[in-house]
Amino acid sequence: MVETVGPMLDAPIAGQSLTAEVGNRPWQNPPQYSTVEEALEYYIPRITNPDMLNNLFDVMESGIPLTTIANAMQTAGAMEGKHTLDVGILILPILIETMAYLADESDIEYDAGSSVDMKKDTPTDASIARAINKVRKRQGEETKEEMLPEENMVEELNTEEELTGGLMSRRATNGI
Amino acid sequence: MYNVGFQAMNNLAMPKEKQPKKEQSTGLLARNVNNTPNTEEEDVRQRVARYTNEIRKARMELKNG
């Protein structure tokens, strides 16, 4: 199952469906095409129309997956009351396959969008940067801890030298 | 976002290719005469899978020359 990456911020507001009279929306009325075949008879001539096809190829070349394009098409059809959402979802594979066929026929590169992304488990650049920062911080703390005793030793040595370094200072008792 | 197209495409049960049946003699004295006609009605999903399979086959033929 495809998991959502981020929070769904484009979800409808609770009660949004009750802001219009029941039956005023096209999708609340009986659909124009009630079967898969009828819906396909509506879509296929539109997809294969040369004007539409050029726009479709532009969208495909821009890297948008075929699954996303087909889903947008069928959602728009359901919103216009052309067919039900069920029929829309049923015809999705046929729309995707048809678009793939047309793209292959015209040597257009496309992303089918129906294969599982194997690179999903690889960490993002941001997470790698965060991990590196963490390691650096930890290493920095460790080196500080290691450095501290040495610094104390140096300070101790300095104090000893200060005690014995003066001209008028006492000589060391064990010296003579 | 939840990709319905991805789900629809990946959950599509493609029809298995039926192996050609051996031709049986239809004589009156032949064994195992199957009189029951094939009345299997296709489900909507099966129909969609069949259509998709046909287009895919045509696409593969296009790719393979």
Q: Per residue in A17-69, pLDDT tens? A: 888 888 888 988 999 999 999 999 999 999 999 989 999 999 999 999 999 99
- State the average pLDDT for chain A: 82
| Beta-carbon contacts of residue A89 (< 8 Å; ≥ 6 apart) | A74, B4, B8
pLDDT at A127 over 70: yes
Question: Is A48 within the bounds of a domain?
Answer: yes
The answer to whether residue A96 neighbours chain B at the CB level (below 8 Å) is yes
Question: Is A2 within the bounds of a domain?
Answer: no
Is the same domain home to A37 and A102? yes
Nearest to A94 among B1, B6, B48 (CB): B48
Quick one: pLDDT at residue A174?
A: 55
The answer to whether residue A172 neighbours chain B at the CB level (below 8 Å) is no
CA-based nearest distance A8→chain B, Å: 7
Q: What is the domain range of residue A135?
A: 123-164
Question: Is A176 within the bounds of a domain?
Answer: no
| Beta-carbon contacts of residue B14 (< 8 Å; ≥ 6 apart) | B49, B52, B53
Question: Is A82 within the bounds of a domain?
Answer: yes
Residues in A closer than 8 angstroms to B12, CB to CB, are: 93
Q: Give CA–CA dist B14/A71, Å, rounded.
A: 20
Whose CA is closest to A100, among B62, B15, B2, B44?
B62
Quick one: pLDDT at residue A88?
A: 95
pLDDT at A118 over 60: no
Is the same domain home to A33 and A110? yes
Is the same domain home to A74 and A139? no
| Beta-carbon contacts of residue A56 (< 8 Å; ≥ 6 apart) | A47, A69, A99, A102
CA-based nearest distance B46→chain A, Å: 10
Whose CA is closest to B15, among B55, B41, B46, B59?
B46
Q: Give CA–CA dist A51/A45, Å, rounded.
A: 11
For B2-57, list the strands marked E by DSSP.
none
pLDDT at A163 over 60: no
Is the same domain home to A92 and A149? no
Nearest to B12 among A68, A93, A98 (CB): A93
Is the same domain home to A56 and A28? yes
Is the same domain home to A59 and A141? no
Averaged pLDDT, A87-104: 94
Amino acid, res. B6: F
Is the same domain home to A88 and A152? no
Q: Are A94 and B52 in contact (CB under 8 A)?
A: yes
Question: Is A98 within the bounds of a domain?
Answer: yes
Answer with the residue of higher pLDDT: A164 or A18.
Answer: A18
Is the same domain home to A139 and A91? no
Give the Cβ contact number of residue B50 at 10 Å. Answer: 14
Q: Would you state the structure tokens that stand for residue A25, as one six-digit string?
A: 């929306």
Domain count, chain A: 2
Question: Is A84 within the bounds of a domain?
Answer: yes
The answer to whether residue A103 neighbours chain B at the CB level (below 8 Å) is no
CA-based nearest distance B42→chain A, Å: 13
Is the same domain home to A104 and A133? no
Question: Is A18 within the bounds of a domain?
Answer: no
pLDDT at A122 over 60: yes
For chain A, list the strands marked E by DSSP.
none
Quick one: pLDDT at residue A59?
A: 94
Is the same domain home to A95 and A146? no
| Beta-carbon separation of B52 and A2 below 8 A | no
- Most B CBs within 10 A among A43, A60, A75, A90, hence the mutation to make, goes to A90
The answer to whether residue A114 neighbours chain B at the CB level (below 8 Å) is yes
Averaged pLDDT, B24-32: 72
Nearest to B2 among A4, A94, A101 (CB): A4
Is the same domain home to A80 and A105? yes
In percent, the amount of chain B with pLDDT more than 70 equals: 72
CA-based nearest distance A94→chain B, Å: 5
Burial class, A167, CB count within 10 angstroms (exposed 0-12 / middle 13-18 / buried 19+): exposed
Tell whether pTM > 0.80: no
Is the same domain home to A36 and A63? yes
Quick one: pLDDT at residue A176?
A: 47
Answer with the residue of higher pLDDT: A115 or B37.
Answer: A115
